[in-house]
Every structure is written in C-alpha cells, then in structure tokens.
Chains A and B, each alone.
Chain A
Amino acid sequence: QVQLQQWGSGLLKPSETLSLTCGVYGGSLSGYYWSWIRQAPGKGLEWIGDIDHLGYTYYSPSLKSRIIISLDTSKNQFSLNLSSVTAADTGVYYCAKVSRIPAGPKWFDPWGQGTLVTVSP
C-alpha cells in the first residue's frame, strides 16, 4: 500500500519560492504519474501539475510560468517549487499519486497529508 508523506516550507514572504517534497513509501515512482494539488482558504481544489516517472511534466496553464516539478528517483520522492509567491498562493498543498485505467480515466489516490503554506509580509 503506497503512502505519501510531504514536507516543506510553511511560512513564506511575498516573492519567495515555495518548496515542497513528497516521499513515496511502500511503492516505486516507476510507471506512474505524480501530482500536486492545492486548496486556498475557503476555496475548492486546484490541480497544479503532474510529473511522470521519466520526468516529463505537465503544468496548469495558470501557474506554468512559476512552477517546477522534479523527481529524485534515488530517494523515491518528487518536489514542487513555486516561485514569486503572493498571498494568493496561501493554502494547503497536497501531493498525490495518479491512479489510472490504461489509456482511460485517471484519479488521485492516495494523497499526502497536506502542508499549510502561508504567504505573509
């Protein structure tokens, strides 16, 4: 049973870079896509981006200019960097594994525990 555990910077000032890492336990990165998703206070869920086991990335168009998602296969973990943060980037950030039916629907399962990120001067 794959479990995800995430960690990273929780309090940032505007213009700084958000950095989060998600460790994958009980399974391998190989053969799967891995995602980051966030939730602003009082808002719904927003997909940020994916990375596959080869390192190919897929980013939300609205965040693409500020995101880097990377992979460290030696440590079985993946990371999110979001640059030039503002108060609008405040929220809970989740990592997740993308489960899928081959060439068919995909869904997020399981999820990491979430990390609260606050951007404040």
Chain B
Amino acid sequence: GAVVSQHPSRVICKSGTSVKIECRSLDFQATTMFWYRQFPKKSLMLMATSNEGSKATYEQGVEKDKFLINHASLTLSTLTVTSAHPEDSSFYICSAHGLAGAGLDTQYFGPGTRLTVL
C-alpha cells in the first residue's frame, strides 16, 4: 500500500516550453502533497506544499508563477514548469501525506521525474 506514481518519469524539452508533471496517490487519499527538487549529488529541497482545493504554499525563493501547482483532487497534484530554461533541469519528486488514522502518518514519495531543458 501507499504507492505514489509520477508521470512522466523523464522529459526533455526545448527552452521556453512548459512541462507538466503529474503526481498520483494510487491506493490512498492525500489531503497534502509536496513537491521537491533535487540537483545532482545534493539533498532534496522542498519547493511547495499543496493542499487539495486550495492554493499551494511555496518555499522562500521558489517562484510561484514559474512553478504552477494544482491539487485538484485527493489523489492528484500537478506541477507545471512554465517557460522552462536549462537551469530548471533537475530531478523533481512529489510526495503524498497519508492519513494518520489509516496508519499512514508520513510522506510517501513518487519515483521522480527527470527534466532536461535543452
């Protein structure tokens, strides 16, 4: 149980285009999802916290107009990287927080999406 999927697993795009990444909790509902970014040989950095039906909360230094987050349902959150540039190339990882009452009081992570912007 507690499986989180991401799609696509890797994407290559041209500079200036937008890329959408989907994060789904497959077998549990998640009122809160998180988006992280990870550069090579570095630790995960939290970008934003997303709550179902409300606006995401972004970490300091993360541009909300560049990284659009939508959390439309209890099982789906999307991250759109708008007008992507080479410096946005990174490994993007989402997580979904389970319900404490179901014994899932922690974050479960997706497999990650590797974005390469040419």
A and B held together in a complex: no
| A binding-site residues for B, Cβ under 8 Å | none
| B binding-site residues for A, Cβ under 8 Å | none
